[in-house]
Amino acid sequence: MRKFKKGLVYLLFAIPVITQLYPLLWLLMYSLKTNEEILDGNFFAFPRAVQWSNYTTAFESGSYLKFLSNSVFVTALTMICVILLSSMVAYAISRFRWKYGNLVMTIFLMGMMIPMQATLLPLMIIFKNMHILNTHLSLILPYIAFSTPVSVFILSGFMKAIPHEIEESAFIDGASVYRIFRSIILPVSVPPMMTVCILTFINIWNEYILAATFISSEKLKTLPFGVYTFVIQYSVNYGAIGAFLVMGALPVILIYFFLSNQITKGMVAGAVKG
């Protein structure tokens, strides 16, 4: 009976692993095949001859570096702003005693319920009047707005459990609120901040709707829209399309693979201490 239960547990774990890994492995093999191999219908077959030229075509003809640099710029700037704003808001909500703290937290939680698609038309009008449409700022501002609520939720849950004695001793020594925040709260909150960084990175890096709506200039487009453009342009070169898709997904896969433990630690820390 114990062996049966153990085998059942392994089976339950194997199903999500296979369903998650198989599409990635299939896409990798797809990107290394010729059109003839792809169209013969044998999806499980390995490529007879590895076609590295598909990656060369995708890298050179797809303007990969241009789209990649745009995505890196937008994502990095957004992550910096989200960390700074959400950490300060979470600190104010969780550590200060003021009567509007719960109300402010409720407002941020309500922000998590607003779908991004519902804001497209109002944002389009606002950004047009502000003359920032078709700029990276038109992406960064809504990315910050949609990423901050969940970041405040994660960080405030962690900061509530930090002992107040640490701050009280610092106040006695003459430290200001900003000094305490910078020298005590931020270093202690590194695990949940890493979680916020990774989740923000993944959400922003893969975002397509806002990038397609607010950006029309070719030189400002981010990588998800670059993938769409490449697929339209090279619709008959299936191997090159697969190669571009692999290169588009590679940064997120690498970040998540190397830093997945940080997500778990940050979420567990916030759950246990909150």
User: Whole-prediction pTM value?
Assistant: 0.82
CA-CA-CA-CA torsion sign (168, 174, 177, 179) = negative
Cα–Cα distance measured from residue 167 to residue 157, given in angstroms and rounded to the nearest whole number = 17
CB 199 within 8 A of CB 75: no
pLDDT band at 272 (very low <50, low <70, confident <90, very high): very low
CB 139 within 8 A of CB 74: yes
Q: Is the pLDDT of residue 266 over 60?
A: no
pLDDT value, residue 274? 42
Q: Is the pLDDT of residue 34 over 90?
A: no
Cα–Cα distance measured from residue 234 to residue 214, given in angstroms and rounded to the nearest whole number = 24
